[in-house]
Structures are given as structure tokens and as C-alpha cells.
């Protein structure tokens, strides 16, 4: 089609092709701009199922408005050809940009956070990408990242009150039919069962793994071997493959790659917030890094000479007493303090690791007192954060370990901290039954 004209679009180059159509670079002769034009092949346009899926792509993409998702300009038909016109991204796809050993840490965050943010925006609109892979992530010459090709997008809803308004998607994703790109498919995609937005999070985990190490987590000599690996294998941690990777990044990726969707992150926004929180911690020096080539973000030098290890538990207790005093005053002197607080040094941790994680305090009282337990956790974290030479792991990281069943040593090793603080809270009752 190069050199031909479709409607008022002059085809200048072919950019790629796939099961959902062929993509060309074209010039809009009316608006005098370059666009990406995706044409459904004629022999497929006569297939009602394919044509409906193509139109569904248009509806899905048109509903999205995000700086990291490609912009859809129009949906058109000319001389029996159905096509979309979209923003033309002048740049390279991520599969051409990932270095042999993965991105430097700073660049990794620059790319990974917008990807997760774009997925979150799509999921909020009920759009599941279903084919997230490096080839579908473009990085423009302007440095901005865009996710492209929502050709396999599936609209999903947790519940529909009015079934008459549901879009006609039934039958387009038939049970037992796997759709997607094999190395980046979720277990549920491979099994051909109903999927939701959490399938994208598994694909995101594969993408993050490859961006971190330069390797895919699942491999096989044949498609059957690859499928078996995705369904059964637990890949090596990125921290075992590459030095200089924060343990928490390894945990984020592992969480995305859980086989059971119920055990993964439940939203892309959670992944985005975890990555952003980790980026802040790395920049501030809260997260220890091994001596590899990856880190591109330098940690600031301590402003005060390090204190002996015994000082830190004492400082923590002092912070607790301050918070308890504040609570006592707020309640007018009534007895209302944490019923139990446990400050534990992580077995086997380095004494020079002056970092602590404050796990969410457990509320042992009435359900309506939950706010107080959360408030105590926040106050203690804030007080400890003012202590020189003591790093406090962010709340977004700590909350992931809320009553997970992991031991304190496992929590400490995952987060790279020397101390773990946990506790319970219960309001004491006065003789008249009031708090």
C-alpha cells in the first residue's frame, strides 16, 4: 500500500503488522501532519468477529486520555477499508532499548513508573491491554513513553447493573482460546480462561524483570516448554541475577508474578505507588544497594557521625513515649496507650544498618477504633523520621507486610532493615463504659 492513498491519507511507510491489522505511516493531506494508520486487512474485514474486535479497539483506545497512552485521532472507513488514525510516535520501541544487562536504576524508574501509571488509567476505564510487551511500549524522541496497540483490549466490569448496556464482547474471547504474545502472557491467558486487569499486572512483572536484568523470567525451547515455565516455574529473583538491585524491587516484581491473581497486586496503581516510593527511598539513601554497576542514583552522605547500635532501640522507645504522651493529652488524661509494642533487631542483620520499618499497628479494640491504630503508626513513623542517621521505610512498603505471616527476619531481609517495629493498640474503657 506504500504510495497509495486511503481517503485523504497518503501511505508513506509500513511500520508493522499483527493479527489485528497492519500499521502504516501516513500523511494527512488535509491537516498536513503525519499519523499512524492501522488498517484491517480486507480478507479479515469480512469476518464479523474480527471486525467487531477492531471496532472494540477503537472504542477502548478512544476512552483513554493519558500522556503515556497513544492518542487515537479518528475511526474511519473508505472503499470498504476499516482503519484507525493515531498519534505517530517518532522513536523506538522498548525491545530495541533494553540493554543486555537491564537499565540503570534511575532510567528503570523513569520508564517503569509511567508504564504502571498508564495501565492504572486504562484499568480505571475498564480497559485491559492483554498484550503488554516491550514492542508495544514506544519511547519517543521527546523522551515521553507511550503504550500502544490495544488491539487485544477487553472491557471488563466487576459487576453490571444494567446488562442491556454491556458492550457486545461475549464470544470475542472464547473460553479455551489463548490470546496475547506467548513470553508475556499470564497463566490465566495461557489457560484460556476469563481474565481481568490483574492479567496485565503479570505481564507488567515480566516486563519489569526484563527491564531490570535484560532477561525474561520464563523461557523454553518450544512454545510448550515456555507455557509450562509460565504455569509452574518460580524465576530467580532479580537480586540474584544482578547486583545493585534493591531487595524491595525484587519483591515488587515477585508480587506481580504470582501465579494466582488473588495473590498479586490488585491494581496497577498499587504497583505505581510502590515503584515511586522505592525511587524516593533510593534517592534519599534509605534503601541499601550492593556494589554493582546498576545504581545511577547516589545516596547522600550522613550529616551526623553514626551512633552506637544500642542508641537506636532507645530512640525508638523515646519516640513511642512522645506519641503516647500526645495521645494521653488528646484524650484528656484517660488511659489510652498502645497495649503492646515490640521493637526487634532482625536476626543476622548488620548492626550498622540503621533502618527501621514500622508495620501497621493491629487494632484490638472496636472496629471504629481502627483509625487510632493507623494514626499511631503514622505518628511513630513521622517521629522516627526526624532522627538523624535512622532511615524509616515508607508506609507504602510497610503496609505490604501487614499480617502476611512472614517472620520478622524475612521482613527485615526483604526490606534491608536492621529493626522491625510492630505493635497492637486498644482503647482502655473507663468504669462508665466510655473510652
Task: For 348-405, write each residue's pLDDT tens digit.
Answer: 554 444 788 888 877 766 665 665 667 677 778 767 766 766 777 776 667 677 666 6
pLDDT in the model for residue 225: 92
Q: Which grid coordinates are listed for 412?
A: 527485615
Q: Is the pLDDT of residue 314 over 90?
A: no
Does the pTM of the predicted model rise above 0.85? Answer: no
pLDDT in the model for residue 165: 31
pLDDT in the model for residue 171: 30
Q: Which of 13, 79, 95, 131 is catalytic?
A: 131
- 28 belongs to the catalytic site: no
Q: Which grid coordinates are listed for 298?
A: 547516589
pLDDT confidence band for 331 (50 / 70 / 90): very low
- Which of 250, 178, 248, 238 has the alpha carbon at shortest distance from 214? 238
Q: Is the pLDDT of residue 180 over 90?
A: no
Mean pLDDT of all residues belonging to the chain: 77
Q: What angle do CA 203, 211, 240 make, to 5 degrees?
A: 100
pLDDT in the model for residue 185: 94
Tell me which DSSP letter residue 264 carries: S
Contact 265, 256 (CB under 8 A): yes
Enumerate residues 6+ apart whose C-beta is below 8 A from 262: none
With H, G, I as helix, E, B as strand and everything else as coil, classify residue 422.
strand
- Which of 66, 5, 79, 68 has the alpha carbon at shortest distance from 37? 5
Phi, psi for residue 285 in degrees, rounded to 5: 85, 10
Max CA pair span of the chain: 89
Considering only 186-190, 238-242, 321-325, 403-407, which range has the smallest mean pLDDT? 321-325
pLDDT confidence band for 340 (50 / 70 / 90): low
Q: Region 41-59: what's the mean pLDDT?
A: 76
Better-predicted residue by pLDDT, 168 or 239: 239
pLDDT in the model for residue 333: 46
Cα–Cα distance, 314 to 309 (Å, whole number): 10
pLDDT in the model for residue 415: 76
Better-predicted residue by pLDDT, 179 or 129: 129
With H, G, I as helix, E, B as strand and everything else as coil, classify residue 239.
helix
pLDDT in the model for residue 392: 78
With H, G, I as helix, E, B as strand and everything else as coil, classify residue 385.
helix
Q: What is the pLDDT of residues 61-114, one digit of tens each?
A: 788 899 999 988 888 888 888 888 989 988 999 999 999 999 999 999 999 999
Q: How far is CA 297 from CA 12, 57, 107, 293, in A?
A: 42, 39, 10, 11
Contact 143, 66 (CB under 8 A): no
Cα–Cα distance, 134 to 94 (Å, whole number): 5
Q: What is the pLDDT of residues 244-290, one digit of tens each?
A: 899 999 999 999 999 999 999 999 999 999 999 999 999 888 766 54
pLDDT in the model for residue 337: 45
Dihedral angle computed from the Cα positions of residues 175, 19, 146 and 96, in that order, rounded to the nearest 10 degrees: 120
Q: Is the pLDDT of residue 166 over 80?
A: no
Amino acid at each position: 500500500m506504500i504510495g497509495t492513498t486511503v481517503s485523504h491519507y497518503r501511505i508513506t511507510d509500513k511500520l508493522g503488522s499483527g493479527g489485528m491489522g497492519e500499521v502504516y505511516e501516513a500523511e494527512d493531506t488535509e491537516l498536513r501532519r503525519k499519523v499512524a494508520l492501522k488498517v484491517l486487512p480486507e480478507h479479515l474485514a469480512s469476518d464479523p468477529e474480527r471486525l467487531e474486535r477492531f471496532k472494540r479497539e477503537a472504542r477502548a483506545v478512544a476512552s483513554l486520555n493519558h500522556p503515556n497512552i497513544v492518542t487515537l485521532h479518528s475511526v474511519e472507513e473508505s472503499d470498504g477499508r476499516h482503519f484507525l488514525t493515531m498519534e505517530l510516535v517518532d522513536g523506538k520501541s522498548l525491545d530495541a532499548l533494553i540493554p543486555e544487562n537491564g537499565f540503570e536504576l534511575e532510567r528503570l524508574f523513569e520508564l517503569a513508573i509511567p508504564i504502571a501509571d498508564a495501565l492504572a488509567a486504562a484499568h480505571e476505564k475498564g480497559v485491559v491491554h492483554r498484550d503488554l510487551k516491550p514492542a508495544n511500549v514506544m519511547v519517543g524522541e521527546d523522551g515521553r513513553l507511550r503504550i500502544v496497540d490495544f488491539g487485544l483490549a477487553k472491557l471488563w466490569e466487576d459487576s453490571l447493573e444494567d446488562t442491556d448496556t454491556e458492550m457486545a464482547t461475549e464470544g470475542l474471547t472464547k473460553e479455551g482460546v489463548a490470546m496475547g504474545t506467548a513470553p508475556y502472557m499470564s497463566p490465566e491467558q495461557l489457560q484460556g480462561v476469563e481474565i481481568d486487569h490483574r492479567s496485565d499486572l503479570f505481564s507488567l512483572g515480566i516486563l519489569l524483570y526484563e527491564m531490570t536484568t535484560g532477561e525474561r523470567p520464563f523461557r523454553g525451547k518450544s512454545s510448550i516448554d515456555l507455557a509450562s515455565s509460565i504455569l509452574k516455574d518460580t524465576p530467580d529473583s532479580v537480586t540474584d541475577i544482578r547486583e545493585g538491585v534493591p531487595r524491595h524491587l525484587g519483591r515488587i516484581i515477585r508480587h506481580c508474578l504470582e501465579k494466582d491473581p488473588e495473590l498479586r497486586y490488585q491494581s496497577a496503581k498499587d504497583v505505581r505507588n510502590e515503584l515511586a516510593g522505592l525511587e524516593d527511598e533510593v534517592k534519599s539513601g534509605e534503601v541499601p544497594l550492593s556494589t554493582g554497576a546498576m545504581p545511577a542514583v547516589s545516596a547522600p552522605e550522613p550529616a551526623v557521625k553514626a551512633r552506637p547500635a544500642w542508641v537506636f532501640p532507645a530512640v525508638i522507645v523515646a519516640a513511642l513515649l512522645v506519641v503516647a504522651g500526645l495521645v494521653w493529652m488528646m484524650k484528656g488524661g484517660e488511659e489510652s496507650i498502645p497495649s503492646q509494642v515490640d521493637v526487634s533487631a532482625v536476626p543476622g542483620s548488620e548492626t550498622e544498618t540503621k533502618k527501621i520499618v514500622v508495620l501497621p499497628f493491629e487494632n484490638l479494640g472496636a472496629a471504629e477504633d481502627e483509625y487510632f491504630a493507623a494514626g499511631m503508626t503514622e505518628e511513630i513513623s513521622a517521629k522516627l523520621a526526624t532522627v538523624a542517621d535512622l532511615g524509616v521505610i515508607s508506609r507504602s512498603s510497610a503496609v505490604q507486610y501487614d499480617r502476611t505471616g512472614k517472620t520478622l527476619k524475612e521482613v527485615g531481609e526483604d526490606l534491608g532493615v536492621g529493626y522491625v517495629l510492630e505493635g497492637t493498640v486498644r482503647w482502655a474503657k473507663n468504669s462508665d463504659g466510655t473510652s
